[in-house]
Amino acid sequence: AQAQAQVQTQTQVQTQAQAQRRCDDLWQQNQALACQRGALEEEKRDLAAYLKRLLLQKEAEAEQLLERLQDQSRAAQRDGDDLRRQQDLLTQDMQRRVDALRSENRSLAETLAGLQQFQEQREELMGRVESMEKQLASQKVEHRDDVHSVEMKALMEKRRQLELHMTAMAAEVQQQVEQKVPESTRLALQENLEVKERLGRLSQHVQVLTEENAALRDGRRRLSVDLEVLEQMLSETTRTSCIRKKVVEQLTEKCRQLQAEQEVWKQQTEQVQSRRAELQAETEERLEAELEEARGRSFRMKSVTEEAALGLQHALTVTGAPPFRGRLSGNVTQPACRSPADSSAPPCGRRPSLTLHSSPPGGASRSGLQPGLAARVEAADAEAAGGPAQTPSLHRRGQSACGGSVSPPPDQ
């Protein structure tokens, strides 16, 4: 009986010791799970803060892109206004130049019309001068013929009269011979007086013809002087007309050049306007695309944040699962702040410390997160940053106050 009692006592002691060890293991496991829960809550807060910061950063980037779009739109509008003002100034300048050239062309056309009228007058005067020269030549010929005919008539008349006189004198002489001599002398004297009178009349007629000839010579000299003056005026007018024609040709060529320059300026202005419109459209499309992309990234970051929060909540609900503990990158240590026999001692005095390490995208993996969630967060970081942005990676280094490490409970 004593042996049985001793065996039972030993069995009870062993059972009590096993129960105590089991209780201690469960208490340690409970403490480890509590520390894990605190670490997960801290990790959740850090990840939520990081995602909030990233969301704010993306919103700030979206606002900056929107401001850039507005600034570029205003700059494009200012450039368009400047180009329109320059075009208006160029158009006004070209219009002034065209108006000036048109007025100058009108004045030159009037001058040319005056020159043509003067040319017609000059041709008319030249025709009149030629007709007067021809008339003068014909008058000279007629005058010479008249003088010659008058002289010939006078000579013929004088010869006829002399012949008649000689015949009459011969008859009278014969008669006087037959008659007495004094009567013949008286008749001869009378005839001599008649001949003198006729010669006087002839001399007067010759004097009149001489005066007419002198007047015709004076008219010829005046006509020659007038002809020289007209020829000089014609040469000066021709030279002035040639000069003005050259000026008209130069101004016409200049007008054509200005019109060509105006066409070139119009083409350049149209090209600048089309280029400005294309640049403005490209800038607006690019900025709108960037804004839409930023909005999409912000929306995706919000969805990733919500998924991460849901994943963390789910992870906190299943903190006792061994696979989740296996995904922790650090060792969670529990402080041995109480003895196995002291059940009233407080739990872990310090929580495992969380350290944030910066790593480039695609570098260190996010420990403590589900694989799909970690991949989504990394993809969102890479898409949002578009370059070497710094993303925090969560690692836990648990340091207890007493230095004891906690291992998972053995499978019973």
pLDDT for residue 390: 41
pLDDT score, position 391: 40
Question: Which residue's structure tokens are 């009567």?
Answer: 183
CA-closest candidate to residue 289, choices 75, 78, 66, 79:
66
Angle between helical axes of 2-178 and 371-385 (0-180°, round to 10)? 20
Letter string b/e over residues 213-223, b meaning 16 or more CB atoms within 10 A of that residue's CB: eeeeeeebeee
3-state DSSP of 220-238: HHHHHHHHHHHHHHHHHHH
Burial class (CB in 10 A: 0-12, 13-18, 19+), 406: buried
- DSSP SS3 for 297: helix
Supply the pLDDT for residue 379: 58
pLDDT of residue 48: 85
Task: Output the pTM of the full model.
Answer: 0.33
To the nearest 10 degrees (0 to 180), the angle between helices 2-178 and 181-317 is: 180
List phi, psi (to 5°) of 356: -100, 120
What residue has token string 């401001």?
Answer: 67
Q: How far is 382 from 386, CA to CA, in rounded Å?
A: 6
Dist. CA 98–CA 86, nearest whole Å: 18
For 175-189, give one letter per residue: b (16+ CB within 10 A) or e.
Answer: ebeeeeeeebeebee
Structure tokens at 324: 């989740």
Q: Which residue type, as a one-letter code, is found at position 69?
A: L
Nearest CA among 252, 217, 35, 255 for reference residue 136: 217
Helix %, strand %, coil % of the chain (to 5)? 80, 5, 15
The residue type of 92 is: Q
| Two structure tokens written together for 35 | 């520390």
Tens place of pLDDT per residue across the chain (412 aa)? 778 888 888 888 888 888 888 888 989 988 989 888 888 888 888 888 888 888 898 888 888 888 888 888 888 888 888 888 888 888 888 888 888 888 888 888 888 887 788 878 878 888 887 888 888 887 777 777 777 777 777 777 777 777 777 777 767 766 665 665 566 666 776 777 787 778 778 778 777 887 887 788 787 788 878 888 888 888 888 888 788 788 888 888 887 888 888 888 888 878 888 887 888 888 888 888 888 888 888 788 778 878 777 877 777 777 644 443 333 333 333 333 343 334 443 444 333 333 333 333 333 334 444 444 455 555 555 554 554 444 444 334 333 333 444 344 444 3
Rounded Cα gap, residues 110 and 119, in angstroms: 14
Q: First and final CA of the chain: distance in angstroms?
A: 34
List of residues 6+ apart from 158 with CB closer than 8 A = 198, 202
Alpha-carbon distance 77 to 29, whole Å? 70
Q: Read off the tokens for 96.
A: 């002034």
Nearest residue to 304 via CA among 388, 384, 396:
384
pLDDT at 184: 61
Report the distance separating Cα 73 and Cα 283, nearest Å.
8
Q: What whole-number distance in Å separates Cα of residue 243 and Cα of residue 108?
A: 12
Residues sharing a CB contact under 8 Å with residue 286, sequence separation 6 or more, in sequence order = none
Q: What is the rounded CA–CA span in Å between residue 334 and residue 241?
A: 119
